[in-house]
Amino acid sequence: MIELQCTYCGKVFEKNPAEVERSTKRNNHFCCREHYDKYRGVREKATYECAQCGNSIIKSASLKDKRTNHFCSCKCYNKWRSIHLKGENNYNPKAKESKDVQCDYCNKDYRLPRYRLKIIKKHNFCSLGCKYAWHKKNNRVMVECDNCGGVVNKDFSQVKNNKNNFCSRECYIKWRAERKPKYICDVCNKEYSVSAGRYKNKAQHYCSTECLRKGYKGEGVYNYNSVDCVCGMCNKKFIKKRVFVEESNNDFCSRECYFEYRRTHAAPKAFLVNLRGLGVMRRWKKAVSKRDKGICQRCGDVKNIEIHHVVHFRDIINNNNIKTVEEALECKEIWDVENGMILCADCHADEHGDLFFMRYDKSKIKDNE
């Protein structure tokens, strides 16, 4: 540690040598922060006069030798610079190449910098406000509207770049609607107008979606992919895409007919879902697995075990004409333990065929194909 004397109170104190090396330029050292703050407040101060407005300012006395001009605010400093540091008096040599120019709108003299003198312009303005005001007054042209024939006052740049001129948006829309190309529908022979861009690369023309569907039907027609179908519920004729017709067994003209068909035809067998979740079914499965000891009766596998009906569960329902849960509970053939056996997932799938097997392994479906 190094012994130092406090500049404010004269007290001797010790300080780290590293801190003393950092502050080699400083001649003053302080024992605490309070003495440092008090010393700064005790320093000599002097009064100066603002070079622009003449107001008195109190500042540090050390600034007397450093600066020749003093200012009370930034505004006074900027005003003083604009007056005294201008033209030949400017300390920047590039600024001496600037030139005084007169504004074309307000006739006020202002100074153009060096880089703007290289750009040749017909008109010069001291501000954007003067530029916009001059253009509004002088750079305007009277033009006739192409739709209603009214006279419009527009900027010269708008008239120069546009082939057609309009007084309002409504006149533009009316003018464009009258010049739309007219076409004849290939189905109903109705004349209609539409923008030319829609039929740029198309040979067929249709006035509505109904005519479009009718026109897409039949061989030899562009984009042939539709077929005549009959609704399985209301026997109504309608057009459907060929892809959906090949995949589905029954075709319906709307979602309402589809749900009505499900309610009347498929609903009686919906009780099978509730039947599989009953406690009787769980007890029957537990009895079968206890008898077979949880082992597949074909391959002897222990993983992925499932319970299988020897006589298929749906065949028993159809043969006995069971339509309710109560009738299923009374049927002894469903709950016979001898009618059940344990199979693994693969053996169970082989028992029911490829359609049942699709749930388990999609790679074998490709092999079968």
Q: What is 311-335 written as a DSSP string?
A: S-HHHHHHHTT--SHHHHHH-TTTT
Clarify whether residues 146 and 195 are in a common domain. no
Structure tokens at 164: 């057609």
Spatial CB neighbours of 322, under 8 Å, sequence gap ≥ 6 = 316, 328, 331
User: For residue 335, how many C-alpha atoms fall within 13 Å in the half-sphere facing its CB?
Assistant: 15
Mean pLDDT, to the nearest integer, of 202-228?
Answer: 66
Mean pLDDT, to the nearest integer, of 220-234?
Answer: 68
The percent of residues in the chain predicted with pLDDT above 90, rounded, is 2
Please, is 261 exposed, middle or buried when counting C-beta atoms within 10 Å of its C-beta (0-12, 13-18, 19+)? Answer: middle
Which runs of consecutive H residues, i.e. helices, occur in 167-278?
Answer: 169-178, 209-215, 242-247, 255-261, 271-276
Clarify whether residues 350 and 275 are in a common domain. yes
Residue 28 contacts residue 48 (beta carbons within 8 Å): no
Quote the domain boundaries for residue 23: 2-43
Q: What is the pTM of this model?
A: 0.29
Spatial CB neighbours of 7, under 8 Å, sequence gap ≥ 6 = 28, 29, 30, 35, 39
Clarify whether residues 287 and 232 are in a common domain. no
User: Each residue of 239-290: pLDDT tens digit?
Assistant: 777 666 655 567 788 888 887 876 666 544 556 666 777 788 888 888 998 8
Residue 7 DSSP SS3: coil
Alpha-carbon distance of 294 to 300, in angstroms, equals 9
Q: Count up the domains in the chain and report the number.
A: 5
Alpha-carbon distance of 235 to 251, in angstroms, equals 10
Q: Residue 369's pLDDT is what?
A: 32
Clarify whether residues 209 and 293 are in a common domain. no
* 173 falls within a domain: yes
Q: Residue 205's pLDDT is what?
A: 77
Clarify whether residues 169 and 239 are in a common domain. no
Q: Residue 211's pLDDT is what?
A: 81
CA triple 354-359-362, angle to 5 deg:
75
Asked if residue 87 has pLDDT above 70, the reply is no
Clarify whether residues 204 and 277 are in a common domain. no
Residue 270 contacts residue 276 (beta carbons within 8 Å): no
Share the mean pLDDT of the chain: 77
Clarify whether residues 284 and 199 are in a common domain. no
For residue 362, give the DSSP letter.
S
* 132 falls within a domain: no
Of 307, 321, 293, the residue nearest 351 (C-alpha)? 307
Residue 357 contacts residue 350 (beta carbons within 8 Å): yes
Clarify whether residues 156 and 231 are in a common domain. no
Of 309, 286, 308, 287, the residue nearest 296 (C-alpha)? 308
Clarify whether residues 309 and 258 are in a common domain. no
Residue 57 contacts residue 48 (beta carbons within 8 Å): yes
Alpha-carbon distance of 173 to 178, in angstroms, equals 9
